[in-house]
Structure 1
Amino acid sequence: MPSGLLHNYRDSGETDLNYDQWQDATAGEVSESDCLSPIDAKFNAMSPMNFSTTSDSALSPIDASSTIYDYGIDDDDDHPDYLVRRNSSISVVSQARSLQPDLAMIAPCPVGSPTLEFVLPVFSEFSDRPNRRALVDHFCNVLSHLIVFREESGNPFQQLVLPLSHRSAPIMNAIYALASAHMEYRGIGTTEKSLYFHNRAIQGLARLIEQDGNVDKIELLAAIMLLVYYEVLVQRGRSSIVDGHLKGALTIMSSSQEESSPASLFLERAFRFYDVITALSLGSAPLSTAPAAGCLIPFPPMDAPVTSPLSNVDTLLGMATTLWPIMHRLSNLLSLKNDMDRAARDNETSKSAVLRMEFETTSRAIETALTQWEPCLPPNVVAEDGVLRCSRGGEIPERLQLQSILHNALAYRHSAFVYLYRTIYGYSARREVVQKHAHAALVSCVETVTHRGPMGALLWPLFVAACEAVSAEDRTLAQAAFVGIDQRQGMTNIGQAWKIIQEVWKRLDAISDDSPEVKDTDMWRKVSAEMGVNIVFG
């Protein structure tokens, strides 16, 4: 990596601070908006190095020897099925949840830690504190399963990310922060708050960045990726932090000369997913270049069998791997449209004409690509009206999971049409082609939830389609899907997205079909701004 690159990535030109001058911060002095990113040090005119890294008790409202975790199971008897998770070193059995998200929780299971040796108590090699071992347990037994599509031979967060925490305090603290934040949203008491662990992870990341070229790039990327997941989960309204993290990570990836490894490939796929989702969520241009059509292949878990029925499923993109180059180009259209409109307003005739030609050519190509796109199904499997069938007769292995993953990908395709027609072309919300694809997307979202498969990437297509729901039928579908993913995922951004949707519906109902406001493609953005949130729909 070129010398000084991480220095620039760290402070955006601000003066370095001496670690000896760092001041301890107390819990009472820290607010959520003070949790900064070393990637975006100008945020709120503060540097992350203002936080102490010398005291374990700084910012911590804890008694380190105690724990108040409440692990309760109160599952609905109507859903007695179990989710069995397997990887090469541990078996985790978690009961499916059907209770409300503020109470939902899976009990920790007495499983071996993901290391070569079995250590008791469980996860004691990570910490001697029971509450922190419980956080590792929650990360392994709950969170890691909620954010992937495929893990028949193991979960990549356990296989590729968790082992890095043994030598990396920032990664370990980011894991603690992510797990703790997820539990806090579900109403489960914790002795150490997620904000405390987030502060320590940011401090550790700043120290890594200070090392410039003498740092393991995979360690940096893993720490940043976990912090991206944390920011998206907690949604504190400062989504510029996510953008800053992504900029830093993509800079590292583009400049790294190291040979690719399973961990680096997995992290790169995760960053590129969030780059596109962030651009679609915030209306900004993606930071990375679009992958060429056909260049993305499904990323499997380690040691996944070649003949697996999930062989065409990507760990993070599901069956949307071949759709992702189209989604990337779609995410760039709003920025291009804004540039074109700006040039027209400024009477830059030549520039406006060039941008308009590029915009029209690109948007039509994307529309054609979406029309022609089909998910890549497993061998001997066909889809008829969204239902998977074996072309040779008989049962399809992993049919319910595959059915859910298929509908997840179809939801992306239909919501991409909605986004194109509404946000890019500016069609009315009640135009037939908008309602057609919004309805199809909502049906696919409900099918994804009904088949109880992976739901980690469902929020963007659900939100986009729900924004345009005008009929009672479609709003019922949207509500059912939101309830399903909120119960399953239990994350703040889902609840906030639902609040925005309800306000959008209220405003849509208050205007007539011929009102100019019905063509307002930014209504949900205005509602979001009024609520003081800026959600990344990942």
Structure 2
Amino acid sequence: MPFSRTRTGCYTCREEGYKCDEQKPFCGRCVRLDKTCKGYGVKLRWQTPELPQSKEPRRRRQQRRLSPGSHGTSTVTPSAASSPAVSPSPTSPMTQMALTPVAPVSIGSNMDPEHRYLLDHWTTTLGGVISMATGTHQNPFLLHLTPMMAHSTSLRFALCSIAACHLAALKNDQSLQTTATRHRLRAVSSLRQSIQTDDPELSLATVLMLQLSDRLFTTDSGVDHLAGANAIIKRGGANAWNSSSASFLLSLCCYHDILTSVSRGTRPILELKSQVPIEGAMSLQELTSVLQVVAQISRLQGQDHLDAQGRAIEQTLQTFDASIHSGGESGHTLQAYKHASFIYLYRVWQAGAPHPSAMNDHARSCLQHLSEVPVSSPLVSAHVWPLWTAGCETIGGEQRQLVGERIEAMWEARHLPSLRRIKQDMEEVWLIKDKQRNLIGEDNVDCIKAILTHRRRAADLA
């Protein structure tokens, strides 16, 4: 019988030409055969970066992007916002984050009312929730992305989608989740139509917001957005990424690429030589340096004879205290990342792993430093990975309770669905580790591989 692809069901069954029972979230055939179910819904197919570029000169494309009438979308004007939005308590952590000084931005009055409502939530609340930059008078997300909306329909839909996702979590309103899905599908459709003609910055911004949607709002699209980002970056060429907005976007790509490599147990896919600080904020320069060490650890994945490289990274981490110049919240965050990096290194480089008690010491130190940072701090946006890494290593009920309480406090401050799911994943890891410890006296369990195996997806670490 000739091979043919089916047009319904999960993407795994479609690609293999088998009938799918379409069970959610994973089809019965994939579960029965222990296959990775690639899910349902819209699936982007990224073009290879070798496609011919637009013949239009870059300067003319920039002028077209910056002209107010581009793509027939509404303009963004610097004035007071007038759209309604969810109003957190004046004393809540979310309010404290939203009140961080930013450049005044609002949406033009000629925009669709639903878009105005959602984008007002983006500018007044959500932009502050997802940014980790400190010591700046302008939120980098609002500074760079909000003006781009006037020139990119796909980006506007993507921002509306994540704003609706956040409002759905805040208000526990399923209808807003439906709104989010509708706007996300429109963003994907618009991106397909414009990706070959838009300025690459606009396309990359849209792809990154879709990546945030998957990671922070657990939309699980099944699309490898980072592969798409990599294709856009290569297609744009070196000269396309010289602006401050481009640096901001590339820094976000690196951040998500590194943490995704951790959650997938793979090597990073981006090969960017510049080390722009995360979000383009100098306050995050030292954190960016630590993440480069995490990327080095990820590059050890799948290699043999790791002793020389493992010892070099270990030595870098051991001498890291001398290079930390930040104090307060930044200093505690850097120390937490250092201890989490030790744990990650020893999980990848198992031959160099110390006695389990030393791993527990790193976990306790990491959690102690994280606890010193108030949940209202923007830096808490970067705490999920170290909290997950150290939290999975905890053994005692008291420590685990403190980890759970910390995640709940982060949820109350931010209302990002990924926090609830990361707690569930951690509880799953604890059960697996406890079971193995009871059986053989030790729990040599890799928490990342445990979630990949049992949940059939990666943990949401970004």
> TM-score of the superposition, structure 1-length normalised?
0.65
2:403 corresponds to 1:478: yes
Of 158, 176, 187, which aligns to 2:160?
Answer: 176
Partner of residue 255 from structure 2, selected from 273, 287, 302: 273
Aligned counterpart, 1:469:
394
Aligned residue number for residue 234 of structure 1: 217
> CA–CA distance in 2 between the matches of 1:128 and 1:497?
35
Distance 1:182 1:144 in 2: 11
Q: Is the 8 A contact 2:314 2:342 kept in 1?
A: yes
Matches within 5 A, 1:381-530: 388=327, 403-425=328-350, 431-449=356-374, 452-512=377-437, 515=440, 518-521=443-446, 523-530=447-454
Query: Residue 217 of structure 1: which of 200, 220, 245 is its match?
Result: 200
481 and 517 in structure 1: CA distance in 2 versus 1, 3 angstrom threshold: same
Deviation at 1:513, TM superposition (A): 6.6
Assess, with a 3 A threshold, how the Cα gap between structure 1 residues 40 and 457 changes in structure 2: closer, same or farther.
farther
Query: Could you tell me which residue of structure 1 aligns to residue 189 of structure 2?
Result: 203
For 2:46, give the aligned amino acid.
I
User: Which residue does 1:34 correspond to in 2?
Assistant: 41
Following TM superposition, by how much is the alpha carbon of 1:135 offset from its aligned partner in structure 2, in angstroms? 0.9
Q: Distance in 1 between matches of 2:241 and 2:448?
A: 43
Corresponding residue of 1:313: 283
Equivalences for residues 257-406 of structure 1 within 5 A: 257-258=239-240, 260-289=242-271, 291=273, 296=275, 298=277, 312-314=282-284, 319-336=286-303, 340=304, 356=305, 359-374=306-321, 388=327, 403-406=328-331
Residue type of the alignment partner of 1:331: S
Could you list the per-position Cα deviations for residues 77-116 of structure 1 after superposition, in whole angstroms to 9, with x for gaps in the alignment?
89996863223x42xxxxxxxxxxxxxxxxxxxxx52xxx
Partners of 1:128 and 1:228 lie apart in 2 by 25
Cα contact 1:86–1:151 (8 A) shared by 2 = no
Contact 1:237 1:532 (8 Å CA) reproduced: no
Distance 1:281 1:216, change over 3 A: same
Identity %: 18
* Residues 231-253 of structure 1, C-alpha deviations (whole Å, 9 max, x = no match): 11232445553343343344346
Q: Against the structure 1 CA distance between its residues 428 and 323, is the aligned structure 2 distance closer, same or farther, given a 3 Å change threshold?
A: closer
In 2, Cα distance between equivalents of 1:532 and 1:40: 27
- Give the structure with the higher percent helix: 2
Which residue identity lines up with residue 71 of structure 1 in the other structure? V
Equivalences for residues 109-120 of structure 1 within 5 A: 113=106
Q: RMSD over aligned Cα, in angstroms?
A: 3.3
Residue 140 of structure 1 pairs with residue 123 of structure 2:
yes
Counterpart position of 1:531: 455
- Do the aligned partners of 2:211 and 2:225 also contact (CA within 8 Å) in 1? yes
1:150 alignment partner, one of 130, 134, 137: 134
Cα distance in 2 for partners of 1:80, 1:207 equals: 38
Deviations 1:2-45 (A, max 9, x none): xxxxxxxxxxxxxxxxxxxxxxxxxxxxxx8313224289xxxx
2:99 to 78, 81, 84: 84
Shift of 1:151: 5.8
Write the distance in 1 (CA, Å) between the matches of 2:279 and 2:230: 26
Amino acid at match of 1:208: S
Which structure 2 residue ranges, 5 or more long, are not aligned? 1-38, 49-83
**In 2, distance between residues paired with 1:128 and 1:78?**
30
Give the counterpart letter for 1:281 in structure 2: S
Q: What is the rounded CA distance, in whole Å, between the counterparts of 2:445 and 2:279 in structure 1? A: 41
Q: Equivalent residue of 2:289, what SS?
A: coil
Q: 1:266 to 1:531 in 2, by over 3 A?
A: same
TM-score with structure 2 setting the length: 0.74
SS at match of 2:283: coil
Equivalent residue letter for 1:322 = S
- Which residue type is aligned with residue 257 of structure 1? N
User: What runs of 5+ residues in structure 1 fail to find an aligned partner?
Assistant: 1-31, 42-68, 91-111, 114-122, 302-310, 341-355, 382-387, 389-402
Secondary structure in 1 matching 2:99: strand
Partner of 1:187: 171
